[in-house]
Structure 1
Amino acid sequence: MKTVAMVLFPEFLLLDMAGPMEVFSIANRYLAPDQRYELLTIGTEPGLLRASNGVSVQADLHIDQASANYDVLLVPGGPGAYDEKHPRLLRWLPGAVSRARRYGSICTGAFVLGHAGLLDGYRVTTHWHYTERLIKGFPKATVETDQIYVLNRNLITSGGVTAGIDLALAVVAEDHGKKVAQDVAKVLLVVMKRQGGQAQFSPLTAAVAPHETAVTRVQNHVLDHLDKAFSVECMAGLANMSARHFARVFAREVSMTPMEFLQSARIDRARNLLETSDLPLKTVAFKSGFGSVRHMRFLFSEKLGLTPTQYREQFS
Structure 2
Amino acid sequence: MAKRDIALVIHDGVQSLDVAGPLDVFSEANGFLAEGEGYRCLLLAGTTALIRASNGTPMAAHMRFADASRVFHTVLVAGGPGLPEGSEDAIMSAWLRDWGARAARYGSICTGAFALGHAGLLDGRLVTTHWQNAACLAEAFPAARVEHDRIFARDGRLVTSAGVTAGIDLALALVGEDHGEHVALACAKRLVVAAQRQGGQSQFSPFLLPRSDPETPLGKVQAYVMENLDEPFPVRRLAAIAGTSSRSLARLFVKELGVTPHEFIENIRLDHARNLLEASDLALKAIAFDCGFGSSEQMRSVFQRRLGLSPLRYRENFRTTRPGAD
Same structural fold, with TM-score higher than 0.5 when normalized by the shorter chain:
yes
Q: Which one of 11, 22, 25 corresponds to residue 23 of structure 1?
A: 25
Q: Does structure 2 conserve the Cα–Cα contact (< 8 Å) formed by 1:147 and 1:197?
A: yes
- Structure 1 residue 209: Cα displacement: 4.4
The residue number in structure 1 matching 2:251 is 248
| SS state at 1:35 partner | coil
| SS state at 2:211 partner | coil
Q: Which one of 58, 62, 72 corresponds to residue 60 of structure 2?
A: 58
Tell me, in whole angstroms, the C-alpha distance in 1 between the residues paired with 2:117 and 2:214.
33
Change (3 A) 1:161 1:202: same
Give me the CA root mean square deviation.
1.5
Q: Does structure 1 conserve the Cα–Cα contact (< 8 Å) formed by 2:211 and 2:219?
A: yes
Q: Which one of 191, 196, 201 corresponds to residue 193 of structure 1?
A: 196
The residue number in structure 1 matching 2:144 is 141
The residue number in structure 1 matching 2:279 is 276
One-letter identity of the residue aligned with 1:154: R
The residue number in structure 2 matching 1:303 is 306
- Structure 1 residue 87: Cα displacement: 2.3
The residue number in structure 1 matching 2:292 is 289
Q: Does structure 2 conserve the Cα–Cα contact (< 8 Å) formed by 1:23 and 1:165?
A: yes
The residue number in structure 1 matching 2:40 is 38
Change (3 A) 1:139 1:211: farther
- Structure 1 residue 221: Cα displacement: 2.2
Q: How many residues get paired?
A: 316
Q: Which one of 217, 228, 237 corresponds to residue 240 of structure 2?
A: 237
The residue number in structure 2 matching 1:81 is 83
Tell me, in whole angstroms, the C-alpha distance in 2 between the residues paired with 1:179 and 1:118.
32
What is the TM-score when the length of structure 2 is the normalising length? 0.93
- Which structure shows the bigger proportion of residues in helix conformation? 1
| SS state at 2:31 partner | helix
How is 1:149-160 mapped onto 2 (pairs within 5 angstroms)? 149-160=152-163
| SS state at 2:132 partner | helix
Q: Does structure 1 conserve the Cα–Cα contact (< 8 Å) formed by 2:78 and 2:111?
A: yes
* Alpha-carbon displacement from aligned partner over 1:40-88 (angstroms, at most 9, x marks no partner): 0012234101000111011101121111111110111112322322222
Q: Does structure 1 conserve the Cα–Cα contact (< 8 Å) formed by 2:84 and 2:136?
A: no
One-letter identity of the residue aligned with 2:75: L
The residue number in structure 1 matching 2:324 is none
How is 1:94-173 mapped onto 2 (pairs within 5 angstroms)? 94-173=97-176
* Alpha-carbon displacement from aligned partner over 1:223-265 (angstroms, at most 9, x marks no partner): 2221222110011112221112211221122111101110111
Tell me, in whole angstroms, the C-alpha distance in 2 between the residues paired with 1:29 and 1:87.
37
Tell me, in whole angstroms, the C-alpha distance in 1 between the residues paired with 2:56 and 2:239.
51
The residue number in structure 1 matching 2:51 is 49
* Alpha-carbon displacement from aligned partner over 1:91-133 (angstroms, at most 9, x marks no partner): 2221122321111100111111111111111100001111111
Tell me, in whole angstroms, the C-alpha distance in 1 between the residues paired with 2:123 and 2:27.
31
Does residue 228 of the first structure (1) align with residue 231 of the second (2)? yes
The residue number in structure 2 matching 1:313 is 316
Does residue 258 of the first structure (1) align with residue 258 of the second (2)? no
Tell me, in whole angstroms, the C-alpha distance in 2 between the residues paired with 1:211 and 1:138.
36
Q: Does structure 1 conserve the Cα–Cα contact (< 8 Å) formed by 2:217 and 2:244?
A: no
- Structure 1 residue 212: Cα displacement: 5.7
Q: Does structure 1 conserve the Cα–Cα contact (< 8 Å) formed by 2:48 and 2:62?
A: no
| SS state at 2:110 partner | coil
- Bigger shift: residues 120-129 or 299-308: 299-308
Does residue 207 of the first structure (1) align with residue 216 of the second (2)? no
Q: Does structure 2 conserve the Cα–Cα contact (< 8 Å) formed by 1:285 and 1:291?
A: yes
| SS state at 1:81 partner | coil
| SS state at 1:38 partner | strand
Tell me, in whole angstroms, the C-alpha distance in 1 between the residues paired with 2:216 and 2:67.
57
Tell me, in whole angstroms, the C-alpha distance in 1 between the residues paired with 2:212 and 2:130.
23
| SS state at 1:41 partner | strand
Gaps of 5+ in 2: 320-326
Tell me, in whole angstroms, the C-alpha distance in 2 between the residues paired with 1:135 and 1:285.
34
Gaps of 5+ in 1: none
Q: Does structure 2 conserve the Cα–Cα contact (< 8 Å) formed by 1:13 and 1:77?
A: yes
